[in-house]
């Protein structure tokens, strides 16, 4: 008997996947082996979440799952079944978010490739800790890699976001 490989597609199950993405209910038929990053970018067309290193080192694909930062490239979509997911598109709620505004004011916005992940990580930090220490800011952004320049503007932006949030902006 000849040992032939069976077509993978025959065994690739498709199941209903539901989640709340940026406050909206989502229901898709997807294969269980799909990464959250691919579902967000390719199926939902939310391209602010960047595809970069794909091994969880750069943070360009950072999203919030249950309000906590996670690399979408390392997260399988099935792990997020029924959970709230927030992408960079969901950070602003009609108006510019204070973290986004602070990134623009303080030069934290650079090439735009790492910025969405940085904003998502900074938002998660400030939601959990409205007045972080400099060490806590560095720790929160340690999973995000900037390839353009340095972190001076980014760190200033997070400190400015603390002020803006305190002022109610």
pLDDT at 7: 53
pLDDT at 4: 64
DSSP string for 93-162:
SSS--HHHHHHHHHT---SSSSHHHHHHHHHHHHHH-SS--HHHHHHHTTT----SS-SHHHHHHHHHHH
| Residue 142 domain-assigned (yes or no) | yes
pLDDT at 3: 54
Contact 110, 116 (CB under 8 A): no
pLDDT at 95: 87
Q: Provide the b/e sequence for 4-28 (b: ≥16 CB within 10 Å).
A: eeeeeeeeeeeeebebebbeeeeeb
| 3-class secondary structure, 88 | helix
| Residue 12 domain-assigned (yes or no) | no
pLDDT at 1: 46
| Residue 139 domain-assigned (yes or no) | yes
| Residue 61 domain-assigned (yes or no) | no
Contact 57, 114 (CB under 8 A): no
| 3-class secondary structure, 63 | strand
pLDDT at 13: 67
- Look up the CATH number of the domain holding residue 116: 1.10.150.120
Domain range for 128: 98-168
Q: What is the number of residues in the chain?
A: 169
| Residue 115 domain-assigned (yes or no) | yes
| Residue 13 domain-assigned (yes or no) | no
Query: Per the structure, how many domains does the chain have?
Result: 1
| Residue 58 domain-assigned (yes or no) | no
pLDDT at 168: 83
Q: In which residue ranges of the chain is pLDDT below 70?
A: 1-13, 169
| Residue 144 domain-assigned (yes or no) | yes
Judging by beta carbons within 10 Å of its beta carbon (0-12, 13-18, 19+), is residue 2 exposed, middle or buried?
exposed
Quickly tell me which residue has 């993405």 as its tokens. 21
């Amino acid at each position: 008997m000849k040992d032939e490989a069976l077509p993978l597609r025959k065994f690739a199950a498709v199941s209903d996947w539901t989640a709340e993405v940026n406050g909206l209910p989502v229901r898709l038929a997807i294969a269980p082996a799909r990464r959250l990053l691919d579902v967000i970018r390719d199926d939902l067309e939310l391209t602010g979440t960047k595809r970069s290193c794909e091994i969880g080192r750069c943070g360009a694909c950072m999203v919030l799952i249950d309000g906590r930062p996670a690399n979408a490239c390392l997260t399988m979509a099935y792990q997020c079944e029924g959970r709230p997911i927030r992408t960079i598109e969901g950070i602003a709620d009609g108006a510019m978010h204070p973290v986004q505004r602070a990134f623009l004011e303080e030069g934290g916005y650079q090439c735009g490739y790492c910025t969405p992940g940085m904003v998502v990580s900074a938002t998660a930090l400030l939601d959990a800790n409205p007045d972080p220490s400099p060490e806590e800011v560095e720790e929160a952004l340690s999973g995000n890699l900037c390839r353009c320049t340095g972190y001076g503007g980014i760190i200033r932006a997070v400190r400015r976001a603390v002020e803006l949030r305190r002022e109610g902006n």
